[in-house]
């Protein structure tokens, strides 16, 4: 009885990032008892938790798309570059005088959709391995972004667009609300319909799902398309947040952060199983980790060391071999 | 199409692309056809070429290593800091850096093999580990002033009146030869190709799968560190930012060279051709002076796309035949 509960607890994917998050919160609260305090300034909420949600919004939007791609058994390495392309597109539209917000957003998201579609066609229809297919855009995407932005950082002065990244709605950061809405929509669209199941089926066994009558290639292509859209939205939010489209730095290392959040959240890297709640918890863990490391005196450029170690540990723990070891440990404990 | 021709077609296409690019650049820009420019192709891309040779061997085995760029940055700042700030003899510092690269590679190979984890994920983590560690040593570049290192930086092998190969280019040529011998004329190389072709078959044939896989990542780590040393000598300073994006250029050179990314088939000679294509595009853009350097990345991306599609097409033709 206890054994089965323990095993179920160990198997539930969301538990791990939540436990990590709790640990980080404890460390932070010991260091700074006011860590969770939320204040009100000029009608806006502020405080460390608000910052975490605000900063995490972009990572979450990217990770959401990444979750779908990873669930189909693929991966998208181009998200960081697509963010830069999307930001540069928005910057180009605004600086060249096309300032109507729907137009800017359509152009930005269109760029992302195009990038996602290219990845999707290469993976789903040409049968190229996902790492390689998305590597192409990862390499050339930054070049395209620099080309679109004429090699400059484009300053964006557009109140409507900037609202996307630094606006406040009812005292809450708009970016976080947007990410939350996206989460609810995705959860409803994937889990209240069969779409999520289809994606998992494609990731689990593409041949079997094709024989079962699923349009496997179309499903895969759709996942990459959605991932591209998500990355473009995140790119727009990033450009809006800093008030500039930076083709060099925007979305830098985003692919690792997104994969990190997805993997830590318990989505299987070889596909066939995904959890959006886990990804959400993974992003929260990641975003809480950054300020914690600063508190602990780790300079920001070095922060990738503990992140890398954590991701390696999670990978090893999730592997079958480690699973066998853990399962081997459990009965022994009972005997003792 | 004859199978032999079909197998060599990617290499032939690569050679043709290189020839077309080189001739086009030579006809468009004055003084492009000179021994000096040709020698500089090797010197300027020494680090990339060394890393690409190791990457070719990893890709032979069906793997990939995204950490090489970060290892280059780490080696560069580690050796410069040890020599310039801690007074460690250069030979010892270089040996230490090569050791770290090799051990890191072996560790990643072991994680990939024993825990059945995707190579790109483990090496992506390795990339962030090494880049972060490089910044940990120092976030600022360190200039080289140790007499032995300055001597090595300035050393060159004259090829004529106006052309010379720097030490890094000589190392690159040595590494290419070594990589060619390892990849094509040793048991280890054949094991790599067998492993890349089909791990199951390699295992059933009784080939040492574990030691081959761990060995190739260790070898690649060694080459990546060597690339870091070459870059440090070329630039005359150690910089933790060295080699950002180098892994992508290395993979691009390998793929453009006709090595199959799924493993099991490839050619070090192709990697050299891919490297030279890279170098010619870069020099041409530098010669032109009007073109945006961003074009290098876009052209490389387009070439990458073209060659990957060519590989798929040939793969399909091969199955039908």
Residues 78-117 of B with CB under 8 A from A: 111, 114-117
A69 touches chain B (CB under 8 A): no
Find the range with the poorest average confidence among A127-131, A269-273, B84-88, B241-245.
A269-273
The proportion of chain A whose per-residue pLDDT surpasses 70, expressed as a percent, equals: 90
A85/B177 Cα distance (integer angstroms): 40
- Residue A298 near residue A306 (C-beta atoms within 8 A): yes
pLDDT category of residue A13 using cuts at 50, 70 and 90: low
Q: Does B48 touch chain A (CB under 8 A)?
A: no
- Would an 8 Å CB–CB cutoff place B296 in contact with chain A? yes
Task: Say whether pLDDT at A109 is over 60.
Answer: yes
> How confident is the model at residue B229, as a pLDDT?
93
- Calculate how close chain A gets to B309, using CA atoms only, in Å: 8
Confidence of residue A244 (pLDDT cuts 50, 70, 90): confident
What are the structural domains, with CATH classification, of chain A?
13-297 (1.10.3470)
Specify the CATH number for the domain of residue B266: 1.10.3470
Which tens digit of pLDDT belongs to each residue from B189-213?
999 999 998 888 888 988 899 999 9
Q: Kindly give the parts of chain B with pLDDT less than 70.
A: 1-3, 318-321
The predicted complex's ipTM stands at 0.79
Number of Cβ pairs < 8 A linking chain A and chain B: 132
Radius of gyration from C-alpha coordinates of chain A:
21
pLDDT of A237 > 60? The answer is yes
Instruction: Report whether pLDDT(A333) > 60.
Output: no
> The domain containing residue B193 runs over which residues?
3-320
Residues in chain A with CB shorter than 8 Å from the CB of B297 are 139-140, 142-144, 146
Q: What band does A335 get if pLDDT is binned at 50, 70 and 90? A: very low
| pLDDT, mean over chain A | 82
Please state, in angstroms and rounded to a whole number, the distance separating the CA atoms of residues A283 and A262: 8
CB of B25 within 8 Å of a chain A CB? The answer is: no
Percent of chain B with pLDDT over 90: 39
Flag if B122 and A132 touch (Cβ within 8 Å): no
pLDDT at B319: 62
User: pLDDT band for position A336 (50/70/90)?
Assistant: very low
CA distance A271 to chain B (A): 12
Chain A 284-323, CB below 8 Å of chain B: which residues? 299, 301-305, 307-309, 311-312, 315-316, 319-322
The alpha carbon of residue B147 is apart from the nearest alpha carbon of chain A, in Å, by 31
Please report which confidence band the pLDDT of residue A204 belongs to, taking 50, 70 and 90 as the band edges. confident
Inter-chain touch B308–A146, beta carbons under 8 Å: no
- The answer to whether B301 contacts A137, with C-beta atoms less than 8 Å apart, is yes
Give which of B64, B68, B115 to mutate to test A binding, by max A Cβ within 10 Å: B115
Q: Which of residues 155-194 of B touch A (CB under 8 A)?
A: none
Q: Which of A79, A135, A323 should we substitute to test contact with B (largest number of B Cβ atoms within 10 Å)?
A: A135
Does B248 contact A299 at a Cβ distance shorter than 8 Å?
A: no
pLDDT of residue A112: 93
Answer yes or no: is pLDDT of A226 > 60.
yes
Q: In the predicted model, what is the mean pLDDT of residues A210-225?
A: 87
How much is the pLDDT for B227?
A: 95
Question: Which H, E and C letters describe chain A, residue by residue?
Answer: CHHHHHHHHHHCCCHHHHHHHHHHHHHHHHHCCCCCCCEEECCEEECHHHHHHHHHHHHHHHHHHHHHHHHCCCCCCCHHHHHHHHHHHHHHHHHCCCCCHHHHHHHHHHHHHHHHHHHHHHHHHCCCCHHHHHHHHHHHHHHHHHHHCCCCCEECCCHHHHHHHHCEECCEEHHHHHHHHHHHHHHHHHHCCCHHHHHHHHHHCHHHHHHCCCCHHHHHHHHHHHHHHHHHHHHHHHHHHHCEECCCCCCCCHHHHHHHHHHHCCCCCCCCCCCHHHHHHHHHHHHHHHHHHHHCCCCHHHHHHHHHHHHHHHHHHHCHHHHHHHHHHHHHHHHC
Sequence-separated (6 or more) residues with CB below 8 Å from residue A150: B292
| Domain count across chain B | 1
CA nearest to A196, candidates A122, A124, A271:
A271
Q: Please say if the pLDDT value at position A12 is more than 70.
A: no
pLDDT digits (tens, 9 = 90+) for A154-190: 888 777 777 777 777 777 788 888 888 999 898 888 8
B84-108 burial code (b ≥16 CB/10 A, e <16): beeebebeebbebbbebbbebbbbb
d(CA A72, CA B277): 35
**Cβ burial, residue A316 (10 Å; 0-12/13-18/19+):** middle
- List, in order, residues 6 or more apart from B93 with CB less than 8 Å away: B78, B79, B82, B83
Residue of A151, A302, A315 with shortest CB distance to B121: A315
């Amino acid at each position: 009885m206890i054994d089965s509960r323990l095993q179920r607890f160990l198997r539930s994917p969301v538990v791990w990032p939540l436990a990590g998050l709790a640990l980080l919160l404890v460390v932070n609260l010991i260091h700074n008892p006011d860590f969770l305090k939320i204040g009100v300034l000029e009608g806006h909420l502020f405080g460390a938790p608000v910052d975490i949600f605000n900063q995490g919004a972009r990572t979450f939007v990217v990770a959401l798309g990444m979750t779908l791609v990873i669930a189909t058994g693929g991966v998208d390495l181009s998200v960081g570059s697509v963010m830069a392309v999307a930001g540069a597109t928005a910057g180009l539209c605004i600086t060249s005088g096309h300032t109507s917000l729907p137009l800017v957003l359509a152009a930005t998201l269109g760029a992302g959709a195009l990038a996602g579609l290219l990845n999707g066609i290469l993976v789903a229809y040409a049968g190229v391995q996902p790492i390689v297919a998305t590597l192409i855009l990862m390499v050339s995407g930054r070049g395209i972004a620099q080309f679109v932005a004429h090699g400059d950082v484009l300053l964006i002065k557009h109140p409507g667009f900037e609202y996307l990244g630094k606006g406040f709605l009812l005292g809450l950061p708009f970016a976080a609300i947007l990410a939350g809405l996206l989460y609810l929509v995705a959860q409803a669209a994937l889990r209240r319909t069969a779409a999520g199941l289809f994606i998992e089926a494609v990731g689990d066994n593409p041949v079997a799902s094709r024989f079962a009558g699923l349009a496997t290639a179309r499903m895969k292509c759709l996942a990459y398309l959605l991932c591209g859209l998500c990355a473009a939205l995140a790119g727009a939010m990033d450009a809006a947040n800093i008030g500039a489209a930076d083709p060099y730095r925007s979305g830098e290392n985003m692919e690792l952060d997104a994969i990190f959040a997805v993997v830590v959240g318990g989505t299987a890297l070889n596909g066939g199983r995904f959890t959006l709640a886990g990804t959400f918890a993974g992003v929260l863990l990641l975003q809480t980790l950054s300020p914690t490391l600063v508190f602990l005196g780790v300079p920001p450029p070095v922060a990738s060391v503990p992140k890398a170690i954590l991701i390696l540990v999670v990978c090893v723990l999730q592997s079958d071999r480690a699973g066998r070891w853990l399962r081997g440990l459990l009965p022994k404990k009972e005997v003792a | 199409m004859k199978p032999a021709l079909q197998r060599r077609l990617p290499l032939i296409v690569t050679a043709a692309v290189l020839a077309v690019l080189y001739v086009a650049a030579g006809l468009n820009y004055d003084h492009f056809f000179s021994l000096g420019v040709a020698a500089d192709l090797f010197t300027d891309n020494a680090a990339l070429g060394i890393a690409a040779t190791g990457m070719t061997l990893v890709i032979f085995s069906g793997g990939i290593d995204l950490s090489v760029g970060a290892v280059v940055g780490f080696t560069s700042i580690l050796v410069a800091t040890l020599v310039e700030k801690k007074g460690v003899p250069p030979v010892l510092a270089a040996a230490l850096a090569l050791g770290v690269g090799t051990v890191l590679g072996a560790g990643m190979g072991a994680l990939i093999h024993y825990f059945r984890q995707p190579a790109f994920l483990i090496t992506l983590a390795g990339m962030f580990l090494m880049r972060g560690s490089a910044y940990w040593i120092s976030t600022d570049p360190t200039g080289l002033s140790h007499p032995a290192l300055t001597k090595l930086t300035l050393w060159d092998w004259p090829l004529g009146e106006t052309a010379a190969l720097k030490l890094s280019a000589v190392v690159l040529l040595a590494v290419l030869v070594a990589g060619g011998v390892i990849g094509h004329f040793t048991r280890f190389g054949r094991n790599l190709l067998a492993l890349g072709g089909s791990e199951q078959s390699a295992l059933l044939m009784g080939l040492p799968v574990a030691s081959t896989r761990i060995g190739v990542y260790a070898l690649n780590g060694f080459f990546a560190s060597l690339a870091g040393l070459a870059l440090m000598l070329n630039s005359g300073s150690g910089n933790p930012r060295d080699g950002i994006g180098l892994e992508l250029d290395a993979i691009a050179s390998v793929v453009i060279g006709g090595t199959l990314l799924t493993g099991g088939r490839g050619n070090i000679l192709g990697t050299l051709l891919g490297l030279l294509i890279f170098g010619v595009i870069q020099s041409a853009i530098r010669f032109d002076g009007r073109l945006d350097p961003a074009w290098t990345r876009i052209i490389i991306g387009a070439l990458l796309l073209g060659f990957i599609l060519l590989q798929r097409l040939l793969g399909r033709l091969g199955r039908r035949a």
